[in-house]
Amino acid sequence: MMENTPVGGGSEEKWAYHLTPRMYAQKIKEKGLVSMKVRVGLAVASPYGAFVKDRTKNEPRERFSRLKVDVAYLLFLGAKPEEILSGALNDQPLVGYAPGGIDPSADRLALDAAAEKALLRFKEALPSIRLAPAKERAGTFFGLTRAKETLQLVEKLQGVKSHYLTRLSVQFVHYYYRIEELQTSTHVYFSKPQDAVSMYQKYKAHLGASNPLVVLRVKLDTVAWLEDLADGGAIKIKDGVAPALLEIMESHDNFANADFRTAPKNWKPLADFAPPPARAPRPRNGYVW
């Protein structure tokens, strides 16, 4: 992790970049590029951001995967499918957990520990579980994660929302994303200089072509920043960046070209940004709209 670390070398290495719709640039000019926590007073991710889009897409698959691993582990230890389905502990609450929101790595370790403790409670409620000798375990567990019996059992469990293991998978994945949301909602994100092009392409695809976009940049030695371990190409800045520290590029079709991207003439202070004037309505008469 690096904080407020000036980087030397060429001009490219001094800057981090952020892509945003042009319609937001005026607000950023007035108040800065700020986190959702600063904007709305709540640690929630923007409903229009990449985090929510990725979570909506991936959460069902993550729940299935988590449940599959837990079921395979129990079968590996000798549990019978009918025992797993029987509903042991369905009336019991899960182990309590809440992320601290400061250190995401520590939060993930604590989540793993809470989930492991919860699974241990369920395992101890199954009378047929036995520990297989270590020499018999190699490869068996991983085979079970792909076995038809396991996948069918997981599908049945997902149809029982009150089942202890189903609830555990839902809670685990919820908190897994909540840990990231606590970071996303309290920071703003920029691409690292060396990842400027790949991150530009990634977020341009995410934001789509329906709205014109602009690129913002900030000099790394003017802000306190941390490497975003969840996204290797990004850095994060707590709360936000003041407008006076930002520059803007409005025409960026050649952004992938390093000479174009680093040329001072292609940038201007955000304070000098002026949105294009609204188009006047065409006059109406009997023939033309």
Tell me the pLDDT tens digit for each residue of 136-158.
444 588 899 999 999 999 999 99
Mean pLDDT of the chain: 88
Q: What is the pLDDT of residue 138?
A: 41
Between 43-47, 133-137, 204-208, the lowest mean confidence (pLDDT) is in: 133-137
Q: What is the pLDDT of residue 122?
A: 95
Given a cut of 90, is residue 21 above it in pLDDT?
yes
Class for the domain spanning 11-44+186-272: alpha beta
Going by pLDDT thresholds of 50, 70 and 90, the confidence category of residue 269 is very high
The answer to pTM > 0.95 is no
**Which position has the higher pLDDT, 272 or 278?**
272
Given a cut of 60, is residue 259 above it in pLDDT?
yes
Given a cut of 80, is residue 133 above it in pLDDT?
no
Residue ranges per structural domain of the chain: 11-44+186-272, 53-182
Q: What is the pLDDT of residue 131?
A: 56
Q: What is the pLDDT of residue 48?
A: 84
Q: What is the pLDDT of residue 24?
A: 94
Q: What is the pLDDT of residue 6?
A: 34
**Which position has the higher pLDDT, 209 or 61?**
61
Q: How far apart are CA 285 and CA 283, in angstroms?
A: 7
Q: What is the pLDDT of residue 286?
A: 41
pLDDT digits over 191-248, tens only?
999 999 999 999 898 887 778 999 999 999 999 999 998 877 899 999 999 999 999 9
Mean pLDDT of 64-72: 97
**Which position has the higher pLDDT, 9 or 275?**
275
